[in-house]
Amino acid sequence: MADNSKIEWTDATWNPVRGCVKLSPGCKHCYAETFAERFRGVPGHPYEQGFDLKLIPGKLAEPLRWKASKRVFVNSMSDLFLDDVPEAYIETVARVMALADWHTFQVLTKRAERMRRLLSTRLAFAARLPNVWWGVSVEDRKYGLPRVKHLQAAPARVRFLSIEPLLEDLGPVDFTGIDGVIVGGESGAKARPLDPEWVRSVREQCDAAGVAFFFKQWGGKRKAAAGRVLDGRTYDALPRSTAAPFPDEARRPRLLDDAEALAAPWLSPPGVISAAASA
């Protein structure tokens, strides 16, 4: 967790799940895996198990302890809709987001089919929350664009795309029902190249469709030096926030108690998922 994130399009990260499984070409140089695996085997470290999947119920109530409203990237070190994350746990995460309605939560997945199904069923209560953005990652035509169709078919109130790392020209994209698009290049020693024309194509299509466009970075080996200026300017547009006002000091402790009650079945006994919780 970081309640002050360096990611350009968010304020904080919240990780009630850690670890993931690679799914498509965008995962090849995963920053989260690289970070987590550095600490595999380090006794007592949060990533002692490296990038193996792990539920972190002790983090569930965390956003209710923060003392200011934030944009919150959910599971920057995982994917909430991984197959092995129990539906009941995903629902608990969503109910915490519903409680903490003064934050704007940004949920991003590559498992678009599972997200679509759950937003239409078990997570229907959360699909239309004004303070939750539901998004998919897009890196190319083969794997990324089909995720957009699943997102468009999901009954989400706010939908966004993270087109990062952008690995090729996407060609024509249907942005119907999409509220915001974030584009960026890959960073790190093995970063794959980003052609400016690929970015311009997405920008122009967003402009034509009236979709908020955010350019995150050029990336590369020295991403700070490469910066995030596109054609002489920065692009910082995001969907409009519709989060509730920050609660008063009388209400917030009660909501924190509610969030801790949601987390309790996953914490007792410690480290074991109860039969009731996993149902």
Q: Looking at residue 234, which CATH number applies to its domain?
A: 3.20.20
9-35: burial string, b at 16+ Cβ within 10 Å, e else: bbbbbbbbbbbbbeebbbbebbebbee
pLDDT for the residue numbered 5 = 83
22 within some domain: yes
224 within some domain: yes
Summarize pLDDT for 48-84 with one digit per residue, the tens: 999 999 999 999 999 999 999 999 999 999 999 999 9
First to last CA, the chain: 27
Summarize pLDDT for 131-179 with one digit per residue, the tens: 999 999 999 999 999 999 999 999 999 999 999 999 999 999 999 999 9
What pTM was estimated for this model as a whole?
Answer: 0.94
Backbone angles phi, psi at 161, to 5 degrees: -120, 140
4 within some domain: no
Give yes or no for a contact between 96 and 60, defined as CB atoms under 8 angstroms apart. yes
User: Which amino acid is located at 40 in the chain?
Assistant: R
What is the rounded average pLDDT of the residues 172-191? 97
For residue 272, name the pLDDT band (cuts at 50, 70, 90). Answer: very low
3 state DSSP class of 32 = helix
**DSSP letter at 64?**
G
Write out the residue range of the structural domain in which residue 171 sits. 12-266
For residue 278, name the pLDDT band (cuts at 50, 70, 90). Answer: very low
242 within some domain: yes
- Biggest alpha carbon distance in the chain? 56
Q: How many domains does the chain have?
A: 1
**DSSP letter at 62?**
G
User: Which amino acid is located at 124 in the chain?
Assistant: A
